[in-house]
Structure 1
Amino acid sequence: MPVQFLLNLLIALLWVFLKDEDTFEVPTFVSGFLIGIVIIFLMHRFFGTPFYLKRAFSMLKLLWIFNYELLTSSILIMKQILLPSTKFEPGIFSHETKLKSDWEVTALALLLMLTPGSVVLRISPEGNIFYIHAMDMKKTKPAVLKSIRMYEKIILEVTRP
């Protein structure tokens, strides 16, 4: 992936140098970068790795889904706090993850802790079991489990080819 990106930058710089302009202009560089994307996409099978923008789109997808989960869980937590008639039952549950590397486990833990309504209390020494505190076991736990499954899938898209 880094090789493809660096090659794309090189193609863009060559495009700027081959134009008959005396100065460096951003639109020329951007057009060269776009031409480089097309060239690398057509030749990416020769690199032996997936096309590098696929992973970039997965990162944007992860960011989009995190922002959506952040908004919906914030609204749910605000509702639970502001409506005094609502009774909630806090609790702790465990979840076994299929993520293996330290980076993947850390990313999942951080995404869960940044989303309101849940906190990762502990991760097992093997790194495969999360102990999570949910603000409401009836409403928050199913939402957290759904989020975990979605985050795991996207983290795998980002980290593994």
Structure 2
Amino acid sequence: MFAQFLLNLFLALLWLLLVDEPVPQLTTFFTGFVVGIGILYVMHRFFGTQFYLRKVIKILYLILLFIKELLSSSYLVIKQVLTPNLQITPGIFTYRTSLKGEWEVTALALLLTLTPGSVVMEVSESGDVFYIHAMDLEESKESIIRSMGKFEKAILEVTDR
């Protein structure tokens, strides 16, 4: 993947040098980069690896998914905090994950911890069980589990497992 990106930069630089301009322009380099993307997309099957922009798109999807979950959980927490009679039942529950790698488990734990209303308290020694504290166990447990499922799927797409 990194080799494809370097080759794309090389193609963009080559494009910049071959275009006859008295002063090199950034737009010419960008045009060469886009042309290089097209060339690499056509030739990526000869490299024996996946096209590198697919991974970039998957990473962007994971970031956008996190922002969406962050905003929705922030709304729920604000709604619960601003309610005059605080009727929450905090609690701890477990969640079993299918992620195996250290990076994957760490990313899932951080994504969930950064989402308001829930905190990963501990991860088991084997790395497949999360102990999660939820601000309102009755209302938010299902949404947390749904979010973790979405995060797991997106992380697996990024790591190509």
TM band (smaller chain): over 0.9
| 1:12-161 correspondence runs (5 A) | 12-160=12-160
Q: Which moved more, 1:77-86 or 1:145-154?
A: 77-86
Distance in 2, matches of 1:23 and 1:77, equals 55
Distance apart, 1:30 and its partner CA: 0.4
Deviations 1:70-95 (A, max 9, x none): 11100100111110234111111111
Deviations 1:86-122 (A, max 9, x none): 4111111111111111111111111000000100000
Look up the SS of the partner of 1:148 in the other structure. Answer: helix
Look up the SS of the partner of 1:13 in the other structure. Answer: helix
Mind listing any 5+ residue stretches in structure 2 that lack a counterpart?
Answer: none
Look up the SS of the partner of 2:20 in the other structure. Answer: coil
Distance in 1, matches of 2:144 and 2:24, equals 49
Q: Give, as a single letter, the amino acid of the residue that structure 2 aligns with 1:90.
A: P
TM-score (normalised: structure 2):
0.96
Distance in 2, matches of 1:120 and 1:24, equals 51
Q: Give, as a single letter, the amino acid of the residue that structure 1 aligns with 2:158.
A: V
Q: Give, as a single letter, the amino acid of the residue that structure 1 aligns with 2:114.
A: L
Distance apart, 1:47 and its partner CA: 1.1
TM-score (normalised: structure 1):
0.96
Distance apart, 1:22 and its partner CA: 3.3
Distance apart, 1:63 and its partner CA: 1.0
Look up the SS of the partner of 2:138 in the other structure. Answer: coil
- Paired residue for 2:9? 9
Look up the SS of the partner of 1:76 in the other structure. Answer: helix
Instruction: Give the number of aligned pairs.
Output: 161
Look up the SS of the partner of 2:137 in the other structure. Answer: coil
Q: Give, as a single letter, the amino acid of the residue that structure 2 aligns with 1:51.
A: F
Distance in 1, matches of 2:17 and 2:126, equals 52
RMSD: 1.0
Look up the SS of the partner of 1:139 in the other structure. Answer: helix
Distance in 2, matches of 1:48 and 1:93, equals 44
Q: Give, as a single letter, the amino acid of the residue that structure 1 aligns with 2:59.
A: M
